[in-house]
Structure formats: structure tokens, C-alpha cells
Amino acid sequence: MSDFDYDLFVIGGGSGGVRAARVAAETGARVAIAEEYRYGGTCVIRGCVPKKLMVYASRFSDTFHDAAGFGWSAGTPTFDWPTLRGNIHTELDRLEGIYRRNLANASVKVLDGRATLIDGNTVEMDGKQITAGHILVAVGATPFVPDIPGRELAMVSDDMFLMDEMPESIAIIGGGYIACEFAGILNGLGVKVDLIYRSEQILRGFDREVRDHVAQEMQKKGVNIVTDCDVDSIEKTDSGVRLKFVSGETGEYSGVLYATGRVPNTHHLGMEAAGVETGKNGAILVDEWSKTNVDTVYAVGDVTDRVALTPVAIREGQAFAQTVFGDNPTQADYDLIPTAVFTQPEIGTIGISEDEAHNYGEVDIYCTSFRSMAHVIADRDERMLMKLIVSRADDKVLGCHIVGDAAGEMIQLAGVAIKMGATKADFDRTVAVHPTAAEELVTLKSPIR
């Protein structure tokens, strides 16, 4: 038995920290975990889960429209935000309870409160010092709002699940996936949405054809996308807020949401006191084993600013626990990570974009755009996009991009094949499942460029 209170102390009760705590405890390690807000972290409490529930809710406006084409008729539908909000939080309470029970069942000591580092083996909570052989920091990231006049009037993504009422109109500032997802959600729930982005096209970092396609479809649905535009200041008005843009123009809205990125949540966490090195935006610097420059301190998840995805944080937490406590040195695998973005229409993507293809030699681009059966009979002008990027040297599929209904579900399964090294010939000899949208992935016969 060591002289420390615990073998492992985890700061942060999100997906990465919880996985690390449970796996370490299963090896026999004495483990404690501390969370200052709610167990489940960004994904479960104020990110992926409540956001996806709001996505489901917002899609009903399209469903009601489409039903007429299939012979259904009903009265004028109405939406009640307090009902949805209450049901969302009931589900979050249920999920948090599962997280707590799973930790307790694994014999992890579950603590509520803020823990800060004192040194490489010591944390402080509520004025009490606790020692551990190893400390894992898994505190995630927090929304970033630029320092402009009136910034305190802006909402961030965390606030979207707590609103007392749905705004009549909103300006969403940002062009990343969070901004675009909430633009679709609020538009679907009947809010007048202006999506304002300082660059020339939304969804920077994604395949250009995907970006253009999604932007066009969002605009068809009623989202007003304003590019090459930035906010200079925010003022409060009797009915909401007034935005003054850098151009000198103004706009008035019921509310404003800033979705301009997230930064590692290391503020006042004791990094300097413990001698832990941080980098850009306060990200904790780690090696391929998730170890910091302090041998006993590790970090996983969004706080490291590597790949900000919940399943990646879980893989990092598991790899850490197996390495340090399971006598099984393991590194997280960051190659070919499938990703879904719940914009409307939805995006599923894995591998390289066409923009990146010049780094991989000569490639062939297979792409198609079409209306699905459901959209045709519903008389809805929405198109899907399917795209494969194939190496001409060895026929390997280097990238797959899908835009449309169930893109996230499709990319999970396509991701298995591509991760295994599937070639275009492998796709071609797979029998199509008809009638589905996914069959287009195995019937793309000729490259378009």
C-alpha cells in the first residue's frame, strides 16, 4: 500500500475521465474522481446528447410538411419549448445517475466539487489536500467569446438547453459545426436565424464541396447565412440585442449566440503551481501516452486540444488507464476517425477532403448529388451528396463524405471498411441494398474528375 490517499485522482467527470477512472479501478487501483458541475461532462450534460435531442425535435417541422405528400393531413402543429426542455433534463438526470452508479459499482470514490493541482501528487478540494500516485486532468473545454463590448449579453452553447423561452429571432456568430448545428435546430423550431461568419464559407476544415452543399441546403430551409461579416459590439435593447458589425451596419435580434470555438478549461486549475506546461489557449501539452512534462500528471480529452470528440476522449482515457495501471502500454489511434455533424442536412465524413488530396498523389473523385425517394414524393427540394476520394496508385479509398439523412449512421459503417483499407474495387463488388440512399456508395462507376 502506498503512502498516497489514492493511486489515481481524476479531475473531471466527463466521458474521458470517467472511462479512465473505471478502467483503472478494475485493475485494483484506488481511484477517486472529482467533478465540480455534473457527471457526464460536456457531451452528456451540455453538448452532444441534449443537442441531438433538440435536433430530433427540430426535424419535425420538415416531417409535418412531408407527411402531406404521403397522404397524411393534420391540424396546424405547435411547438412547446418548456415541454421539450423538461424532457431533455429528465433524460440528462437519468444519464448522470448511470454515470454515478457505474463509478460507484467500480469502487471509484465519487466526489462533488472543484479540485485544483497543488503539485504532481496533490490536489486541493474544499480546503483539504488529497494525495495520489497519479493525477489525470480531464476537465474538457469551455466556449470562447471574443472580448468585445457587450460580450456579457451573448449566449453560448451551454445556455441553449437552459433558456426560459425560445427567441423569435437570433444571430448565431460562427461558422463551425456547433454554430451550424444550432442554426438548423433553431430554424426548425421556428426561430428566424441569421448565421454570421467572418470568413467566406461555413464549416472550415471540411471538404469544400460538402461545405458548399450544406450551405446551399441550409439556405433553402430558411437559414440566412451572412459571410465575410464580423461583430464589433453588442448592445441591449428593449426587445433583445442590437449588433453593430465591423462594416458599420446594425441588426436587431431577440438574442445572440456565440459559437466561435472552445478553449481548454484550465483557468485557475493550478497548472503553474504543479509545473505542468500548457500551450496555445491553455491546452495541456502531452506526449503520445497522454503524459505531461510532470511524470505523475496526465491529461486526456478536449483539455489537450488534440481531437475534440467524445469517443476520442474515451479512447484516450482507456489507453491511459491500460498503460499506467493495466501493464498494457497503449496509445490512442487518431488515424481515420469517422465524424458526424448534425447540421440539417447531416454530414458524415472520414479520411481526407478533396482539398487535401494533392498531398496523396493522383486521385480520382467520385461524386453524386440526388434527391432521395422520400424527398421526391414529399415535393421537397433537398439533395443528398455522396463522395469518394480514391488513390489512383493503389485504388484505396482515402476519403468518404456523405451529406443527407442518416449520414452519421452511414459513415459509421463505411468507416469500418475504410479503416480496414478498403479499395474502390471492394466498394464496387459489394451488392447494393435497394432502395436505399447508401447504395450510391457502391454504384459510383466513373470518376467525375
Q: Pick from 23, 4, 24, 20: which is nearest to 12 by CA?
A: 20
C-alpha count within 13 angstroms, C-beta hemisphere, residue 35: 24
Query: Does residue 207 sit in the same domain as residue 272?
Result: no
Residue with cell 452519421: 408
pLDDT in tens, 328-379: 999 999 999 999 999 999 999 999 999 999 999 999 999 999 999 999 999 9
**CATH number of the domain within which 284 lies:** 3.50.50.60
**Residue 256 and residue 267 share a domain:** no
- Measured distance CA(363)–CA(391) in Å, rounded: 5
Q: Both 95 and 180 in a single domain?
A: no
The reply to whether 138 and 267 lie within a common domain is yes
Give the C-alpha separation, 355 to 395, whole Å.
Answer: 19
Look at residue 331 and tell me if it is in a domain: no
Angle subtended by helix axes 177-188 and 48-67, to nearest 10: 40
pLDDT tens-place string over residues 17-27: 999 999 999 99
The answer to whether residue 183 scores a pLDDT higher than 80 is yes
Joined grid coordinates for residue 43:
457531451
Q: Does one domain contain both 159 and 299?
A: no
Nine cell digits for residue 8: 489515481
Give the number of domains in the chain.
3
Residue tagged active-site, from 134, 213, 401, 434? 434
Global pTM value: 0.96
In this structure, are 254 and 267 located in the same domain? no
State whether 436 and 381 are in the same domain. yes
Within-domain flag for 334: no
With respect to residue 217, please indicate whether it lies within any of the assigned structural domains.
Answer: yes
Q: Is residue 268 flagged as an active site residue?
A: no
Residue 424's CATH number: 3.30.390.30
Alpha carbon distance 408, 405 (integer Å): 8
449, part of any domain: no
Q: What is the pLDDT of residue 24?
A: 98
CA atoms of 414 and 401, how far apart (whole Å): 10
pLDDT, one tens digit per residue, over 24-45 is: 999 999 999 999 999 999 999 9
Is residue 448 situated within a structural domain?
no
354 in the same domain as 436: yes
Average the pLDDT over 88-110 and give the result: 97
Q: Are residues 285 and 225 in the same domain?
A: no
What letter represents residue 379's amino acid?
D
pLDDT tens readout for residues 249-303? 999 999 999 999 999 999 999 999 999 999 989 999 999 999 999 999 999 999 9
pLDDT of residue 2: 73
- CB-based contacts of 300, cutoff 8 Å, min separation 6: 16, 17, 20, 136, 137, 138, 290, 313, 316, 317, 320
Indicate whether 202 and 289 sit together in one domain.
no
Q: In this structure, what C-alpha cell is assigned to residue 115? A: 479540485
Boundary of a domain, candidates 273, 293, 324: 324
Q: Is residue 330 part of a domain?
A: no
> What pLDDT digit, counting tens, does each position of 418-434 carry?
999 999 999 999 999 99
Which pLDDT belongs to residue 75? 87
At 8 the pLDDT is 98
For the stretch 187-238, pLDDT in tens is: 999 999 999 999 999 999 999 999 999 999 999 999 999 999 999 999 999 9
| For range 372-388, the mean pLDDT | 95
The cell numbers describing 372, all together, are 432521395
pLDDT at 155: 98
Domain range holding 351? 339-442
DSSP-derived 3-state class of residue 212: helix
Residue 181: what are its φ and ψ, rounded to 5°? -65, -45
Phi, psi of 251 (to 5 degrees): -150, 140
Q: Is the pLDDT of residue 416 over 90?
A: yes
Cβ distance 213 to 202 under 8 Å?
Answer: no
Specify if 447 maps to a domain: no
Per-residue confidence (pLDDT) for residue 74, from 0 to 100: 84
Do 393 and 282 share a structural domain? no
In this predicted structure, the answer to whether residue 1 has a pLDDT above a threshold of 80 is no
In a domain? residue 273: yes
How many Cα atoms are found within 13 Å in the side-chain-facing hemisphere of 120? 11
Please state the φ and ψ torsions of residue 29, each to the nearest 5 degrees.
-70, 150
In the chain, the amino acid numbered 243 is: L
Residue 369 burial by Cβ neighbours in a 10 Å radius (0-12, 13-18, 19+): middle
Q: At what angle do helices 15-26 and 81-105 cross, to 10 degrees?
A: 20
- pLDDT at site 280: 85
Contact assessment for residue 139 and residue 12, using Cβ atoms and an 8 Å cutoff: yes
Q: Are residues 81 and 177 in the same domain?
A: no
- 199, 88 Cβ separation under 8 angstroms: no
